[in-house]
Amino acid sequence: MKNDPTSRPVDAGGAAPAKHFIRQIIEEDLRANTHGGRVVTRFPPEPNGYLHIGHAKAVCLNFGMAREYGGECHLRMDDTNPTKEEVEYIESIREDVRWLGFDWGKHFYYASDYFDKMYECAAQLIRKGKAYVCGLTAEEWSKDYRGAPPAPGRASPSRNRPPEESLALFEEMRAGKHPDGSLCVRAKIDMASPNLHLRDPVLYRILHATHPNTGDRWCIYPTYDFAHPLEDAFEGITHSLCTLEFEVHRPLYDWVIENLDGLPSRPRQYEFARLNLNYTVMSKRRLLELVQEGRVRGWDDPRMPTICGLRRRGYTPESIRAFTEVIGLTKYESLSDVARLEHGLRDDLNKRAARRLAVLNPLRVIIENADALPASVNAVNNPEDESAGTRPVPFSSELFIERDDFMENPPPKYFRLSPGGSVRLRYAGFLTCTRVEKDAIVCKWSPPEAGLKVKGTIHWVSAKHAVPAEIRLYDRLFTVEDPLAQAAAEGKDYHEFLNPDSLVTVAGFVEAGLADVRPAERFQFERLGYFCADPDSTPGKLVFNRTVTLKDPWAKAAGKR
Ligand code: ATP
Ligand code: MG
């Protein structure tokens, strides 16, 4: 079945995924045998932050295409920039890609592994007269010499330096004989090109900095534009998929590949629109800012759009993969709706999350006919999955119900509990409120067989058995859809749009069976939403995150929740 387009997986709904333009390109290449029938992609993060949901789109695309077409996907740390990378990030990236469900096999690489070969490539270009060592400062270069289209730029005074002289200087640069910024290697392309990236771009610069991988072995480092096509070529990448901002760099990418002899392969770059999500910010720089300023509790704060944040929040990898597929792959920028991500998550959790009872805002109920009560009732674990079975839930003469499931002076059509009124207790018969006391209400209990005519059903826990839990309720991190754009348009600081209520913590109770819950276990708390146990949980103190609210017909009938 290898390389057979008809073997593409089908999603849970049974429909084959849309044939977006990258699929079309790959299938055409396979038909034409462009790369000898191979599909090799790569995900090349710069290890300077944690991955976010935008990266998930690139991860799912690169690993997904390789999987679909019987190819391979490399995980490559793009560590050409020595000053920024941190080892902590590398581990997190590996963990996140694995959690998303992908495997790079033996293809884990560092761009810095290729520094020797890259140096050789630059030397080859110099020898061929296609690159030179330039003595202009970055300031001089980017302001006066490069120019602004349509006007052409001016040639560097070093542009016609003889290759032998440039080579000797390049050697000296490598040997550490020159200070940062004093010299650089430039490609000799076209100072009149309408594309600024072709106006003799920098290929190598001097940076006396210790690199996490290569230590002090190098004091010159390749630029991204030079390094990236080479990394792809060395690894035999066939389809180099990247986001649209690299489209204008593609002519340089191709120039590097075409002007070097002896490269093992001829990769091609294709661009797609990045994923943007509303009510959040997505660049690593901004996310780092939020962490460093203490606006959130860390990279894995459940309000963050990072993969580790979504994981802690209770997202499933399946729902993230499905989301990156349904939003499609295009060539134009857009803002995706986080509600769509949540919609898919609910679908997924509805199928797999065990149902449990919990009360977030407790009101004590005292049952006056205590003698009539069963010690426990039987509750269904998952109505969507019969094999999940049932469980006993302890019952007693003291319950907690939600404070807003009772009203002393109810408006018309209030179907929950009120003085003299009755309501169904989920799995446990009926309650009729007989009296209101200062800190509790007193009720009479009736068994299910009593068949009282009621319109509402409420959830509960036994106050004598329930376990206290800290429950963290999350909302959007920002109050507006596109905080950075809106801040720019209104001349404001984007921090002004941080949602002060993005985290509300309540002291609730969960049913006794949850006492020994394991972190990351997911549940539906009936009528309340989907929740997962947080790693902050200890046997003495349970902590749950609300993953997503529930769109629930009962709750709708019963009012806002
Ligand atoms: P950021 O802009 O958030 O700092 P980045 O682009 O600098 O991210 P890299 O580590 O360079 O992050 O990205 C690795 C890969 O992920 C690149 O191929 C990049 O194109 C892709 N990528 C980054 N952000 C997005 C996004 N929002 N949507 C889709 N792909 C993305
Ligand atoms: Mg980047």
Mean pLDDT of the chain: 93
The number of CA neighbours under 13 Å toward the Cβ of 369 is: 13
Q: Which atom of ligand 1 is nearest to the CA of 284?
A: 4
Counting runs of H as helices and runs of E as strands, what totals does the chain give? 14, 25
Task: Determine contact, residues 154/169, Cβ cutoff 8 Å.
Answer: no
Task: Indicate if ligand 1 lies below 6 Å from the C-beta of 274.
Answer: yes
Helix, strand, coil percentages, rounded to 5, for the chain: 35, 25, 45
**Closest-lying ligand to the alpha carbon of 46?**
1
Amino acid at 497: F
529 CA from centroid of ligand 2 (Å): 36
46 CA from centroid of ligand 2 (Å): 6
Look up residue 119 and give its two tokens.
């140096």
pLDDT of residue 58 exceeding 90, the answer is yes
* Three-state DSSP string of 161-226: CCHHHHHHHHHHHHCCCCCCCCCEEEECCCCCCCCHHHCCCEEEEECCCCECCCECCCCEEECHHH
Q: Is 281 helix (H, G, I), strand (E, B) or coil?
A: coil
Task: Determine contact, residues 214/115, Cβ cutoff 8 Å.
Answer: yes
State pLDDT tens for residues 348-395: 999 999 999 999 999 999 999 999 899 999 999 999 999 999 999 999
Task: Indicate if ligand 1 lies below 6 Å from the C-beta of 48.
Answer: no
Tokens 């803002």, located at residue: 335
Q: What would the mean pLDDT of 33-41 be, rounded to a whole number?
A: 95
Task: Determine contact, residues 243/273, Cβ cutoff 8 Å.
Answer: yes
**Closest-lying ligand to the alpha carbon of 79?**
1
What structural domains and CATH numbers belong to the chain? 21-113+227-277+313-326 (3.40.50.620), 115-224 (3.90.800.10), 278-312+332-356+466-561 (2.40.240.10), 358-459 (2.40.240.10)
Please state the pTM of the whole predicted model: 0.92
From start to end of 7-90, where are the E strands? Answer: 40-43, 72-77
Q: What would the mean pLDDT of 447-458 be, rounded to a whole number?
A: 95
174 CA from centroid of ligand 2 (Å): 25
Q: What would the mean pLDDT of 459-466 be, rounded to a whole number?
A: 97
Q: Order of strands, edge to edge, in the sheet holding 440-446?
A: 457-458, 422-425, 430-436, 440-446, 362-367, 398-402, 461-462
**Residue 348 φ then ψ, to 5°:** -65, -45
Tokens 């004093």, located at residue: 182
42 CA from centroid of ligand 2 (Å): 14
The set of residues, in sequence order, having a beta carbon less than 8 Å from that of 409 and lying 6+ positions away, is 418
State pLDDT tens for residues 77-95: 999 988 766 788 999 999 9
**Percent share of the chain, pLDDT over 90:** 90
| Reported confidence tier of residue 553, pLDDT bands at 50, 70, 90 | very low
Asked if omega into 150 is within 30° of 0 (cis), the reply is: yes
**Percent share of the chain, pLDDT over 70:** 95
Q: What would the mean pLDDT of 33-60 be, rounded to a whole number?
A: 96
State pLDDT tens for residues 388-433: 999 999 999 999 999 999 999 999 999 999 999 999 999 999 999 9
Q: Is 27 helix (H, G, I), strand (E, B) or coil?
A: helix
Return the pLDDT at 552: 41
Q: Pick the residue with more confidence: 230 or 328?
A: 230
Residue nearest to atom 29 of ligand 1 (CA): 274
Please say whether the dihedral angle defined by the alpha carbons of residues 333, 334, 335 and 337, taken in this order, is positive or negative.
negative
Task: Indicate if ligand 1 lies below 6 Å from the C-beta of 45.
Answer: yes
Return the pLDDT at 82: 86
322 CA from centroid of ligand 1 (Å): 19
Return the pLDDT at 501: 97
Task: Indicate if ligand 1 lies below 6 Å from the C-beta of 459.
Answer: no
Q: 398-402 and 362-367: which strand pairing?
A: antiparallel
Q: Which atom of ligand 1 is nearest to the CA of 44?
A: 14
DSSP 444-484: EEE-GGG----S-EE--EETTT-EEEEEEEE--SBSSS-HH
State pLDDT tens for residues 2-31: 344 444 444 444 456 679 999 999 999 999
pLDDT of residue 276 exceeding 80, the answer is yes
Look up residue 317 and give its two tokens.
């990898």
Look up residue 259 and give its two tokens.
């002007």
Residue nearest to atom 27 of ligand 1 (CA): 54
Task: Indicate if ligand 1 lies below 6 Å from the C-beta of 334.
Answer: no
Burial of 389 (0-12, 13-18, 19+ CB in 10 A): exposed
48 CA from centroid of ligand 2 (Å): 9
Task: Indicate if ligand 1 lies below 6 Å from the C-beta of 57.
Answer: yes
Task: Indicate if ligand 1 lies below 6 Å from the C-beta of 47.
Answer: no
Task: Indicate if ligand 1 lies below 6 Å from the C-beta of 42.
Answer: no
N- to C-terminal Cα distance for the chain?
A: 50
Task: Give me the residues paired with residue 523 across strands.
Answer: 354, 531
Q: What would the mean pLDDT of 258-270 be, rounded to a whole number?
A: 96
Return the pLDDT at 450: 95
| H runs (alpha helix) in 477-535 | 483-490
From 239, 243, 245, 285, give the residue whose CB has the most ligand 1 atoms within 8 Å, as the site to mutate.
243
Q: What angle do CA 201, 203, 208 make, to 5 degrees?
A: 125
Of 68, 41, 54, the C-alpha closest to 96 is 54
Q: How far apart are CA 500 and CA 479, in angstroms?
A: 9
45 CA from centroid of ligand 1 (Å): 7
From 52, 55, 63, 248, give the residue whose CB has the most ligand 1 atoms within 8 Å, as the site to mutate.
55
171 CA from centroid of ligand 1 (Å): 34
Q: Which residues are catalytic?
A: 46, 274, 284
Task: Indicate if ligand 1 lies below 6 Å from the C-beta of 58.
Answer: yes
**Exposure string for 34-59, b = 16+ CB within 10 A, e = fewer:** bbebbbbbbbbbbbbbbbbbbbbbbb
DSSP 327-367: T---SS---B-HHHHHHHHHHHHHHHPEEE-EESSEEEEEE
Task: Indicate if ligand 1 lies below 6 Å from the C-beta of 431.
Answer: no
The set of residues, in sequence order, having a beta carbon less than 8 Å from that of 513 and lying 6+ positions away, is 356, 391, 393
Q: 268-272 and 354-356: which strand pairing?
A: unpaired
Residue nearest to atom 14 of ligand 1 (CA): 45
DSSP 72-108: EEEEEE----TTT--HHHHHHHHHHHHHTT---TT-E
State pLDDT tens for residues 129-176: 999 999 999 999 888 899 999 999 999 999 999 999 999 999 999 999
Q: How far apart are CA 201 and CA 330, in angstroms?
A: 29
State pLDDT tens for residues 472-485: 999 999 999 999 99
Task: Determine contact, residues 280/290, Cβ cutoff 8 Å.
Answer: no
Of 366, 310, 362, the C-alpha closest to 338 is 310
Q: How far apart are CA 236 and CA 252, in angstroms?
A: 18
Give Cα separations from 36 to 43, 104, 263, 265 (angstroms): 21, 21, 16, 11
Residue nearest to atom 25 of ligand 1 (CA): 54
Task: Indicate if ligand 1 lies below 6 Å from the C-beta of 46.
Answer: yes
Residue nearest to atom 22 of ligand 1 (CA): 55
